[in-house]
């Protein structure tokens, strides 16, 4: 097939981009052609071909004092430049058998759907976040650092009342207006189908009734291949990911401070983000300097692997609704068990007592118990890690994913979902 991928950021910025690049690589290895369309950016991966949509950074726009910034901000609702660029891209590199949307909101907008429809390309959409039911994408309030208890049922204008977007009334208003426009325009009924990585996300979308299109659940695959030789279990406790309020890293630091004298390992925080300095101060207050490490962002897969080899387990103490975090699959690929919050799509990945341990989000006392359990039971941690390793080879394998996504592609191209 000749396949068009729509990806807002054409560099390794987050889960949607990383997943799209990995899927494209696997499809090309099976003799399919994949073309990537997204925004122009100096950080884009090499050897991409244009034209691209113009680069847009709404943080820069909102900080600007130029009066025209308001007009530019309304481009987050519908981008005519992005539509023009995509039409040119299709006319230059097409025709395409199918289009696959991975991300489009805010920068590319629903204008991409109009461009795809204009050229009569059947398409599907992979849901990487909660944008269809939550204007803030995460079911999380940036102002209060609390998860949404409504699951998007009062969307889209609840975000204005609670100032969920960046704790900003203008940003929240604009994002709500964008979501209203998308609902009113019935854009979410245009794809032939959707793909959801988790049953949790599918259930919320179905309950909210924002689309009448079918949704297939296909779990993501591990971004790295399972190791052929599995290193013996280590002693450190590792977190890997963006350092954000919803990740619950403060819960982890508080819990580790209560078990540090009963374990030999260190607490390793791998990643970067806006909460980094604040959490470093918390760790400095609660822990001796030799018992924790903030590594910052790490690009090297070999360096990350070395940290996993020294780890007893990976910890994901999320307080928001994680969909299907790739960090869990990475841990499994390294034969490491996962201690994680019982929230969102996580329980579909971490089977309590089998591939890891689950605890109530935000509960320091429960996390303390789980840390102590693996700290004093190396053999059980090793067995759980091996169970996760087996899961990556079967349920979360790239072969399984590509087989399932190609079935969806064939149904989309043949029009089966519209019959």
Length of the chain: 419
The reported pLDDT for the residue numbered 418 is 73
The reported pLDDT for the residue numbered 268 is 98
The reported pLDDT for the residue numbered 417 is 81
311-353, pLDDT tens digit by residue?
999 999 999 999 999 899 999 999 999 999 999 999 999 999 9
The reported pLDDT for the residue numbered 74 is 73
Alpha helices in 111-232 (DSSP H): 111-118, 158-162, 169-184, 199-208
Looking at residues 44-68, what average pLDDT do you find? 79
Looking at residues 246-264, what average pLDDT do you find? 96
CATH of 236-393, one of 3.40.30.10, 3.40.50.2000, 3.30.365.10, 3.40.1080.10: 3.40.50.2000
Task: Tell me the pLDDT band of 69, cut-offs 50, 70 and 90.
Answer: low
The residues that bridge with 22 in the sheet, in sequence order, are none
Q: Is 246 exposed, middle or buried (0-12, 13-18, 19+ CB in 10 A)?
A: buried
Looking at residues 243-271, what average pLDDT do you find? 96
Residues 6+ apart with CB under 8 A from 408: 124, 193, 195, 216, 218
Kind plus residue range of the DSSP H or E element containing 381: helix 378-393
Residue 176, token pair as written in the block: 């709500």
The reported pLDDT for the residue numbered 61 is 62
Which superfamily does 2-221+398-418 belong to? Glycogen Phosphorylase B; (3.40.50.2000)
The reported pLDDT for the residue numbered 12 is 86
Contact 155, 132 (CB under 8 A): no
Q: What percent of the chain has pLDDT over 90?
A: 77
210 vs 184: CA distance, rounded Å: 10
Looking at residues 145-172, what average pLDDT do you find? 86
Task: Tell me the pLDDT band of 67, cut-offs 50, 70 and 90.
Answer: low
Three-class secondary structure of residue 296 per DSSP: strand
Alpha helices in 99-198 (DSSP H): 111-118, 158-162, 169-184
pLDDT at 370 over 90: yes
Q: Is 229 exposed, middle or buried (0-12, 13-18, 19+ CB in 10 A)?
A: exposed
pLDDT at 180 over 80: yes
pLDDT at 80 over 70: yes
Q: Do domains 2-221+398-418 and 236-393 have the same CATH topology?
A: yes
- Tell me the CA distances in angstroms from 374 to 225, 232, 313, 353, 384, one per residue in order: 25, 14, 8, 11, 10
The reported pLDDT for the residue numbered 222 is 86
The residues that bridge with 4 in the sheet, in sequence order, are 35, 99
| Domain layout of the chain by residue ranges | 2-221+398-418, 236-393
The residues that bridge with 358 in the sheet, in sequence order, are 340
Residue of 161 and 235 predicted with greater confidence: 235
Q: In 10 A of CB 389, how many CB atoms?
A: 21
């Amino acid at each position: 097939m000749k396949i068009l991928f729509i990806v807002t950021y054409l560099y390794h910025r987050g889960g949607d981009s990383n997943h799209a690049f990995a899927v494209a690589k696997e499809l090309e290895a099976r003799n399919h052609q994949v073309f990537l369309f997204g925004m122009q950016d100096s950080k884009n991966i090499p050897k991409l071909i244009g034209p691209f949509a113009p680069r847009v950074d709404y943080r820069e726009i909102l900080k600007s004092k130029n009066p025209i910034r308001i007009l530019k901000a309304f481009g987050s609702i519908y981008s005519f430049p992005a539509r023009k660029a995509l039409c040119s891209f299709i006319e230059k590199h097409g025709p395409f058998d199918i289009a696959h949307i991975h991300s489009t909101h805010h920068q590319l907008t629903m204008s991409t759907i109009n461009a795809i429809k204009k050229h009569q390309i059947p398409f599907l959409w992979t849901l990487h976040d909660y944008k269809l039911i939550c204007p803030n994408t995460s079911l999380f309030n940036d102002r209060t650092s609390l998860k949404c208890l409504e699951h998007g049922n009062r969307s889209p204008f609840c975000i204005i009342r609670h100032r969920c977007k960046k704790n900003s009334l203008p940003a929240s208003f604009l994002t709500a207006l964008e979501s209203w426009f998308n609902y009113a325009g019935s854009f979410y009924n245009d794809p032939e189908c959707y793909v959801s990585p988790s049953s949790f996300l599918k259930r919320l979308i179905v309950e909210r009734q924002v689309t009448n299109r079918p949704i297939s659940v296909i779990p993501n695959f591990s971004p790295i291949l399972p190791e052929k030789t599995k290193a013996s279990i280590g002693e450190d406790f590792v977190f890997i990911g963006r350092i954000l309020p919803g990740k619950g890293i403060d819960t982890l630091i508080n819990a580790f401070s209560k078990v540090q004298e009963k374990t030999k390992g260190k607490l390793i925080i791998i990643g970067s983000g806006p909460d980094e300095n604040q959490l470093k101060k918390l760790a400095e207050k609660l822990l001796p300097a030799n018992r924790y490490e903030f590594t910052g962002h790490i690009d090297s897969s070999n360096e990350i692997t070395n940290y996993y080899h020294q780890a007893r387990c990976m910890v994901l103490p999320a307080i928001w609704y994680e969909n299907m975090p790739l960090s869990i699959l990475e841990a499994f690929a390294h034969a490491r068990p996962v201690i994680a919050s019982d929230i969102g799509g996580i329980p579909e990945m971490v089977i309590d007592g089998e591939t890891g341990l689950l605890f109530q989000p935000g509960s320091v006392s429960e996390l303390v118990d789980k840390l102590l359990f693996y700290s004093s039971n190396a053999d059980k941690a090793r067995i759980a890690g091996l169970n996760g390793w087996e899961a990556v080879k079967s349920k979360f394998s790239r072969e399984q994913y590509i087989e399932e996504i190609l079935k969806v592609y064939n149904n989309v191209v043949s029009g089966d979902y519209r019959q």
